[in-house]
Structure 1
């Protein structure tokens, strides 16, 4: 039992180091990045539910799930994080946070729209406060 706890501790230590390095390279784990990560996860899950439960995915002919489509979705989200990485690098050169924050806000708006689309295809109408929130984020992003 003691050996299992030691292995578990070592794995958590390694995961912590890797997670910290990734968060640092993306400009730090702040509210914006945490929100983007949350919205990316919610978008992926709602897309998965749309395909598995409702069989209404617009990304496959049958409307059902496809491992290829799911992998493409994960790749897109990975590229989104790479773009945040690039934006943070540009901010480091310029000495600001505007580029990274603008990119993250744009991706949050994109993910929100996708979540709303998924919910709509499930038969749910988005609350007007959510639609208004997306409009505010869009205008904030355009200002930056």
Structure 2
């Protein structure tokens, strides 16, 4: 069994803290976005690998290129969140990052629902209502500059 020493754990924590700081802090919004991104990626792999019903490949089966492109897109989403956070710092607000994270959460949730549909999983009405609420919140923040 490999044991990790205290300074190594502290170093990993420090690096993680710095990265989280770049993204505006390790808050519920960022955690939710990362969870949604992970769930979307995993459900996409299941749709393609198990159900062979993916809309991303001609055969509907799992394709390494499509999987890699999915990871690249998720990386680009995180870069947009980073840019939004930096814009907030420049203009002295916190609404740009929040609006961006909410918009991407809605997008990820829509993709998860689509994947579930491709697997034949029924979607509870509470989920579809939550998506509508998030869409409206995102639109309101876009229009009002974060002031509801």
Considering the TM-score relative to the shorter chain, is it more than 0.5? yes
Q: Distance in 2 between matches of 1:50 and 1:97?
A: 37
Q: Distance in 2 between matches of 1:42 and 1:138?
A: 19
Structure 1 residue 16: Cα displacement: 2.3
Residues 62, 110 of structure 1: alpha-carbon distance in 2 compared, 3 angstrom cutoff: same
Name the counterpart of 1:41.
38
Gaps of 5+ in 2: 142-148
Name the counterpart of 1:95.
92
Name the counterpart of 2:53.
56
The answer to whether 1:142 aligns with 2:135 is: no
Q: TM-score, normalised by structure 1?
A: 0.92
Q: TM-score, normalised by structure 2?
A: 0.89
Question: CA RMSD for the aligned pairs?
Answer: 1.3
In the alignment, which of 76, 79, 85 is matched to residue 76 of structure 2? Answer: 79
